[in-house]
Amino acid sequence: MTVTNPPTSVSTLTEQAHRACDRAVSALVDMQHEDGHWCSRLQGDSILCSEYILMKWILNQEDDPRLPRILAHLLAQQRPDDGAWVQYPGAAPDVSATVKAYLCLLLSGSHSDNDETMRRTEHLIRAHGGAETVNTFSMFYFACLGLVDWDACPAIPPELVFQPHWSPFHLAKMSAWSRTMVLPLAICSALRPVRQLPDQVHRAFARLFNDRAYQHRICRSRSQQHRIMGAVFHQCDDWLKSVNHAGAGNWPLRRRALQEAERWILDRAQPHTTEGLGAIFPPMVYLQIALYALGYPEDHPTCRQARDDLDALMLEVDPTDPSSPIDIQPCFSPVWDTGIALHALTECGYHLNRDIPGRLIRRAADWLADRQTTHAGDWSAAVPVEPGGWSFEYRNEWYPDVDDTAMVLMALHGSDSAQSTFGPNIDRGLRWLLAMQCEDGGWAAFDRTVNRPWLEALPFADHNAIQDPSCPDITGRVLECLGKLGRSHHDPAVQRAIRYLRNKQEPEGCWFGRWGVNYIYGTWEVLEGLRAIGCDMTQPWIRRAGLWLLDVQQADGSFGESPDTYEKNQIKGVGRPTASQTAWGAMGLLAVFGAEHPAVKRAIGRLCETQLSEGEPRCDHENPAGTWAETEFTGTGFPRVFYLRYHLYRTYFPMMALARYLRSNGSRSHPAAGVH
């Protein structure tokens, strides 16, 4: 790598890092809610708006006065140069997103199907394979609106709910997010609701297909992996549809299955345990459609609750303008944001006993401790241990997750210098965390799982996440947590995890990032975990990961990686630089090479140089001083399908990197006391 700028002198860089860290702390504290928590905007792509609008049309609720404002935000997300809607800035056109957005414009009447913009979008859709190539979850919306036959969708039998636990198709074998989506869709698949639309809508929509036969039958060309199992599953799909045509809806078993599926989803949508089914957007939408298909009246308390839970995710783009466009978030991220923010503050040296900052720390720590789950959720079917994890959202007792739990445990442990206040919470959380280790030695997100990759060949699994297998980034974070809590590399659970990570290391030396973009995220997580549990960081396999980070570091010291790397792994570590990824790269290098390495100093220097300062043109309400400008999506929902922009990533991760650098060179033992 060619270095274009000389490294800043040690004393100057240390002073700059101190100032930058203190400014970031002040900015972060200003964003803290009165009760102690943080929750930033969580931004997804256009499908959140388009699917909400389509849901309203399916439910005969298209007169909702907010829909024009949601449509305005949807239209604002259209890329002007080619008319496409995309998954993240700079991405290739997304056919599923573009078809759904096109349909929303068509239904609204705001754009005629002969409009030049609409014609251009039609051409783009057909040029990229036509509407027949959309994902199966999009097809369900189109079937509910009568624009395609239900036979163009995969059959999802509600009898799945009766599968015995030993069956590979038992719901527990699916990821937590998949099971909350699959059962509402199974109800719809069995009952086949259809909303009638005007003929002109049908004619315009039909033009989006290159082969209109796929309006009547499933497009099997989507299955590219596991071809043999894909063929088997499609034969099963044909058989299930023939059973449906033979009148399965009147069979006693089907009626019992629908009743049990209904009970299952209603149990998991109770307001005292969750803020919506799964507490995430897709199942919250599918729940409303399933209730409609089951004949629930619009004013039924369950329907009202489901509607309120979903509508809470709406966000005015400009809160000062009551007529501004409305965006929709995929969920809330308060536990995640608060856990990372508190952990970052403790890395800066703040804890419960530091005067005014201590009160801020105490509020955040108390808020987190109060949200430790006490309910035995779906995970408990395979893990006989006392509940003790944390979920991502404000309230989601059914689905605590490993990543949040590890982060919160580190935050609580670091905030309590006397190790006396949160001991019971930490002990219970640690027992739960250790019990969730998978057979392969890694950790998954929501369950203790066994990887069955052939399940991804199911016809309704084209979101690439029907399962929740172990992943290196979460495993690395758990190791970091265990190290913070006193475990070492001699611990048997840790040794199993290290073996897993060695098996998952890429040939270049990096690791895949399932929940952050991408190899920079995964590699940082693993290296930090290995360092925390006391591994010898000079081992060749570990050093190889550090050398990979050196190779992908950009000339100005920054790091950046595009979500394109999920599609093209030959460009691992390549992309437009961002503050969050520069922080991850800096911390990964720091874990391997230490604070004196020139590459570490370049990365830290770049963070100092690019921090926003008071009065500069880039500073505004959206980009306050002390933070960093970042518009890229560096969070991952479903690789190759859905990505996220966490608006606090650009603040607490750079702050964490600066603090770790200062602590590593011995200059952050006494943080600034003026935080208030």
pLDDT at 575 over 80: yes
Q: Please state, in angstroms and rounded to a whole number, the distance separating the CA atoms of residues 38 and 495.
A: 35
pLDDT band (50, 70, 90) for residue 322 = confident
Place of tokens 């190791």: 479
Q: Please state, in angstroms and rounded to a whole number, the distance separating the CA atoms of residues 481 and 485.
A: 6
H or E, element range at 327: strand 326-328
pLDDT band (50, 70, 90) for residue 6 = very low
Query: What's the half-sphere exposure (Cβ side, CA atoms, 13 Å) at 319?
Result: 5
Q: Please state, in angstroms and rounded to a whole number, the distance separating the CA atoms of residues 642 and 640.
A: 6
* 322 against 478, higher pLDDT: 478
Give the predicted TM-score (pTM) of the model: 0.94
Please give the average per-residue pLDDT across 437-442, as a whole number.
Answer: 97
Burial track 399-417 (b if 16+ CB lie within 10 A, e otherwise): bbbbbbbbbbbbbbbbbbb
Please give the C-alpha separations between residue 182 and each of 155, 505, 668, in angstroms, as whole numbers.
11, 32, 50
pLDDT at 424 over 80: yes
Q: Please state, in angstroms and rounded to a whole number, the distance separating the CA atoms of residues 265 and 289.
A: 12
Structural domains for the chain = 10-42+331-454+465-628+654-664 (1.50.10.20), 45-328 (1.50.10.20)
Structure tokens at 35: 């009760």
CB 444 within 8 A of CB 469: yes
274-295, pLDDT tens digit by residue? 999 999 999 999 999 999 999 9
Specify the pLDDT at position 668.
60
Specify the pLDDT at position 468.
92
Q: Please state, in angstroms and rounded to a whole number, the distance separating the CA atoms of residues 449 and 433.
A: 14
How high is the mean pLDDT of the chain? 91
Span of 170-174, 394-398, 503-507, 557-561 with lowest mean pLDDT: 170-174
pLDDT at 482 over 80: yes
CB 497 within 8 A of CB 442: yes
Specify the pLDDT at position 113.
65
pLDDT at 674 over 50: no
Specify the pLDDT at position 619.
78
18-68, pLDDT tens digit by residue? 999 999 999 999 999 999 999 999 999 999 999 999 999 999 999 999 999
pLDDT band (50, 70, 90) for residue 165 = confident
Specify the pLDDT at position 97.
97
219-260, pLDDT tens digit by residue? 876 545 667 777 887 788 777 888 888 777 788 999 999 999
Please give the average per-residue pLDDT across 81-98, as a whole number.
Answer: 94
* Main-chain phi, psi angles of 328, to 5 degrees: -130, 130
pLDDT band (50, 70, 90) for residue 673 = very low
Please give the C-alpha separations between residue 667 and each of 25, 273, 633, 660, in angstroms, as whole numbers.
16, 45, 33, 10
Beta bridge partners of 315: 327
Q: Please state, in angstroms and rounded to a whole number, the distance separating the CA atoms of residues 435 and 427.
A: 12
pLDDT at 4 over 60: no
Radius of gyration over alpha carbons of the chain, in Å? 25
User: What are the percentages of helix, strand and coil residues in the chain, rounded to 5?
Assistant: 55, 5, 45
Residues taking part in catalysis: 403
pLDDT at 577 over 60: yes
pLDDT band (50, 70, 90) for residue 455 = confident
pLDDT band (50, 70, 90) for residue 522 = very high
580-609, pLDDT tens digit by residue? 999 999 999 999 999 999 999 999 999 999
Please give the average per-residue pLDDT across 68-79, as a whole number.
Answer: 95
* 632 against 119, higher pLDDT: 632
* Main-chain phi, psi angles of 596, to 5 degrees: -85, -5
Specify the pLDDT at position 579.
98
* 358 against 437, higher pLDDT: 437
Instruction: Provide the residue type at 595 as one letter.
Output: A
367-388, pLDDT tens digit by residue? 999 999 999 999 998 899 999 9
Specify the pLDDT at position 230.
74
pLDDT at 672 over 60: no
Specify the pLDDT at position 319.
79
Instruction: Provide the residue type at 35 as one letter.
Output: D
Specify the pLDDT at position 110.
77
Strands 642-646 and 42-43: antiparallel
pLDDT at 7 over 60: no
